[in-house]
Chains A and B, each alone.
Chain A
Amino acid sequence: MDNVLSIILQRLALGLLTLLIVSVVIFTAVNLLPGDFAESILGQGATPEAVKSIREDLGLDQGPVTRYLSWLSGMLTGDLGTSFAQLMFQTNMGGAGDVTVVDQIAPRLSNTLFLAGVTAMIAVPIAVTLGVLAALYRNTVFDRAANVMTLSSISSPEFFMAYILILVLAVLNPILPSLSNIYDGMSFSERLEKTLLPALTLTLVVTAHMMRMTRAAIINLLASPYIEMARLKGMSPMRVIVKHALPNALAPIINVIALNLAYLVTGVVVVEVVFVYPGIGQLFVDSVKIRDIPVVQACCLIFAAAYILLNLTADVLSILSNPRLRHPK
Chain B
Amino acid sequence: MNGISRRGLLKTGVAAGVLGLTGMPLRAQTRGGKLTAGMGGANTSDSWDGRTHSDIFMIASAHGTVFDCLTEVGADGTLKGELAESWEASADAKTWTFNLRKGVTFHNGKSFGADDVIASLNMHTEEGAKSAAKPIVSAISEMNKITDHQIQFVLAAGNADFPYLMSDYHILMFPDGMIEEAIQKGIGTGLYAVESFDPGVRMVAKRVPNHYKGDSAGFFDEIEYIAINDNTARMNALMTGQVDAINRIDFKTEGLLKANPAVRIQEVTGNQHYSFPMLTDVAPFDQVHVRQALKYGINRQEMVDKILLGHGQVGNDTPIGPANQYYAADMEQLSYDPDKAAFHLKQAGLDSLDIDLSASNAAFEGAVDAAQLFQASAAGSGININVIQEPADGYWSNVWNAKPFCACYWSGRATEDWMFSTAYEAGVPWNDSNWDHPRFQELLLTARAELDSDKRSEQYGEMQQILRDEGGVLIPMFANYVQAVNNRISSPDTVGNLWQMDNARMAERWSVA
- List which B463-485 residues lie within 8 A (CB) of chain A: none
Give the residue name and chain of the B residue nearest to A174 (CB).
B240
**Surface stretch bound by B, among A42-50, A233-241, A311-319:** A42-50
- When chains A and B are docked, how far (Å) is the Cα of A40 from the Cα of B362? 11
Given contacts A39-B394, A177-B240, contact A276 B230 (CB under 8 A): yes
What string of 1s and 0s marks CB contacts (under 8 Å) between A77-88 and chain B? 000000101101
Q: A166-B236, A276-B228, A276-B237 are in contact. List 6 more A-B contacts (CB 8 A).
A: A92-B49, A92-B131, A93-B183, A174-B241, A179-B243, A273-B229
B45 adjacent to A85 (CB under 8 Å): yes
**Residue B43 at the A interface, CB < 8 A?**
yes
Q: How far is the CA of A141 from the CA of B227 in the complex (A)?
A: 46
Judging by beta carbons under 8 Å apart, are B130 and A183 in contact?
Answer: no
* Interface presence of A286 (CB below 8 A): yes
Query: CB of B503 within 8 A of chain A?
Result: no
Cα of A85 to Cα of B43 in the assembled complex, Å? 10
Q: Tell me which of A50, A104, A163 contacts B232 (CB under 8 A).
A: A163
Judged by a CB distance under 8 angstroms, whether B33 is at the interface is no
Instruction: For chain A, residues 49 to 67, give those with C-beta under 8 angstroms from any C-beta of chain B.
Output: 50-51, 53-54, 57
Interface stretch, picked from B193-201, B341-349, B440-448, is B193-201
| B201 and A178 contact, CB distance less than 8 A | no
A29 in contact (CB, < 8 A): no
Asked if B47 and A89 sit within 8 Å, CB to CB, the answer is yes
The answer for the CA separation of A287 and B45 in the assembled complex, in Å, is 10
**Cα(A184)–Cα(B204), bound, Å:** 12
Q: 23 pairs across A/B with beta carbons < 8 Å?
A: A34-B391, A35-B393, A39-B394, A42-B396, A45-B430, A46-B397, A50-B130, A85-B43, A88-B130, A89-B49, A89-B52, A92-B131, A93-B180, A166-B236, A170-B236, A178-B233, A178-B242, A181-B226, A181-B227, A183-B196, A185-B196, A276-B228, A276-B233
Given contacts A170-B240, A174-B240, A278-B198, contact A92 B129 (CB under 8 A): yes
Chain B CB within 8 A of A156 CB: no
Give a binary string over B47-87; 1 marks a CB under 8 Å from any A CB, 0 the rest: 10101101000000000000000000000000000000000
A178 pairs with B240, CB closer than 8 A: yes
| With A40-B393, A46-B396, A92-B128: A274-B230 Cβ-Cβ less than 8 Å | yes
Contact A34 B393 (CB under 8 A): yes
A54 to chain B, nearest CB (A): 7
Tell me whether A47 and B429 are in contact (CB under 8 A).
Answer: yes
Q: Is A328 an interface position by the 8 A CB rule?
A: no
Task: State the Cβ distance, A182 to closest chain B Cβ, in Å.
Answer: 9
* Chain B proximity of A286: nearest CB distance (Å): 5
Question: Is the beta-carbon distance between A178 and B196 smaller than 8 angstroms?
Answer: no
Q: Which of B43, B47, B202, B232 interacts with A286 by CB under 8 Å?
A: B43
Q: Confirm or deny: A275 has a beta carbon within 8 angstroms of a beta carbon on chain B.
A: yes
Which B residues have a C-beta under 8 Å from some C-beta of A? 38, 43-45, 47, 49, 51-52, 54, 126, 128-132, 180, 183-184, 196, 198, 200-202, 226-230, 232-233, 236-237, 239-243, 391, 393-394, 396-397, 400, 408, 429-430
CA distance A170 to B240 in the complex (A): 7
| B394 touching A34, Cβ below 8 Å | yes
Interface string of A208-246 (1 = CB under 8 A from B): 000000000000000000000000000000000000000
- Which A residues are in CB contact (< 8 Å) with B240? 166, 170-171, 174, 177-179
A96 touches B (CB below 8 Å): yes
Cβ proximity bits A89-128 to B, threshold 8 Å, 1 near / 0 not? 1011110110000001000000000000000000000000
Note all chain B residues with C-beta closer than 8 A to A83. 45
Given contacts A34-B393, A44-B396, A83-B45, contact A275 B180 (CB under 8 A): no
- Which of the residues A34, A51, A53, A89 comes within 8 Å of B45, measured between beta carbons? A89
A interface vs B, CB < 8 Å? 33-35, 39-40, 42-48, 50-51, 53-54, 57, 83, 85-86, 88-89, 91-94, 96-97, 104, 163, 166, 170-171, 174, 177-179, 181, 183-185, 273-276, 278, 282-283, 286-287, 290, 292
Q: What separation, in Å, do the CA atoms of A183 and B51 have in the docked complex?
A: 27
A44–B400 contact, CB under 8 A? yes
Which residue of A35, A40, A273, A292 has the most chain B CB atoms within 10 A of its CB atom? A35
Residue of A nearest to B228 (CB): A276
Report which residue of B126, B229, B400, B430 has the largest number of chain A beta carbons within 10 angstroms of its beta carbon. B229
Residues of A within 8 Å of B131, CB to CB, are 92
Roughly how many angstroms separate A303 CA and B237 CA in the complex, as a whole number? 30
Given A171-B239, A274-B233, A276-B228, A39–B396 Cβ distance below 8 Å?
Answer: yes
Indicate if the CB atoms of B132 and A92 lie closer than 8 Å: no
In the assembled complex, the CB of B510 is this many whole angstroms from the nearest CB of chain A, namely 20
State A85–B44 Cα separation when bound (angstroms): 9
Contact A181–B183 (Cβ < 8 Å): no
CA distance A189 to B44 in the complex (A): 26
In whole angstroms, how far apart are the Cα atoms of A89 and B229 in the complex? 22
Q: What chain A residues lie within 8 Å of B400 (beta carbons)?
A: 44
**Are B394's CB and A35's CB within 8 A?**
yes
CA distance A51 to B396 in the complex (A): 11
Cβ B202 vs Cβ A181 within 8 A: yes
Give A88 to B130 CA distance when docked, in angstroms. 9
Residue of B nearest to A38 (CB): B397
Check B49–A179 contact: CB distance below 8 A. no
CB of B393 within 8 A of CB of A286, answer no
Find out whether the CB atom of A96 lies under 8 angstroms from the CB atom of B180. Answer: yes
B196 CB contacts on chain A under 8 angstroms: 183-185
Tell me the minimal C-beta distance from A44 to chain B in angstroms.
Answer: 5
Query: A276 near B226 (CB under 8 angstroms)?
Result: yes
